[in-house]
Amino acid sequence: MDLKDLKIQYLEHLEIEKNRSPKTMENYGRYLDRFLQFAKVSGPSGITEDLIRQYRLYLNRLKDSEGNPLKKVTQNYHIIALRSFLKYLAKRDIKSVSAEKVELGKQEEREVTFLETDELERLLKSPKGDSLDVLRDRAILGTLFSTGMRVSELCSLDRDKIDTTRGELSIRGKGSKIRVVFLSDEAKGNINKYLDKRSDIDEALFIRIPKTNIFSKNSNLRLTPRSIQRIVEKHATKAGIVGKNVSPHTLRHSYATDLLRNGADIRSVQSMLGHSSVTTTQIYTHVTDKQLREIHKKFHNKNR
């Protein structure tokens, strides 16, 4: 069977049986296309261990349009997609190289950017005034930090699903997994003030606000992740935060760091972040380890 046809069937399998998001299928499709263009083999039996080794060398030496090499994590995304495709072939009893023989490369540790307490305070207080866009921005920043949501999860929120009395809501995260997140009292108050001032009928919680404040009945007002990114960047600049690229994900990092620094156990933080593996959550332990070193240096053996 032709590999291109098998790739299409595999992506359909991800969509139907695995219920993967359109974005995941788009990424996997792109990664597999790169492999097929490199491999130049027509059938699954043409995929060998040596071919995959050559492909990994190709990825490692590949440069983008600006002459930068692919990051190790990006190289691994390509290999993860290929491994998943090989597992699918094995499940259908189609002969090819075993997925178990394809190992991921060791990748560099992820750098975690988070805000210190004073920076966080300045950022959350940056939106000043009581106009609708200011109230919206204050609610966005407060919700991101209070819940640790991903920006895509924040954009998907509908206002009729928000219960500011209970202060908790169920959100659908990566892999369509549902988890509960919690709103602080301050975040609940910010959302209520923002919603009280809205006069539109759009179902989205966070929306674009026309300069005239006159809303069209038919327009889709839901904010995109890029719009949220710009809002966060704007207020980070206003708050005078320098030397850090502040994004919605920075607030997610700050949320996790805040929980761990204050004694939360890593499994609880894993659950609240919606990580499928605790290994992902462990990137934050480097931050708390640093804090422990500083405490040790300050307080240990002071009598000598």
Which residues are catalytically annotated?
Answer: 150, 174, 249, 252, 275, 284
Q: Which residues contact 251 (CB under 8 A, 6 or more apart)?
A: 115, 141, 144, 145, 148, 232
- Cα dihedral 95, 101, 102, 106, rounded to 10, equals 180
Nearest residue to 42 (alpha-carbon basis) of 3, 82, 96: 3
263: amino acid identity, one letter: G
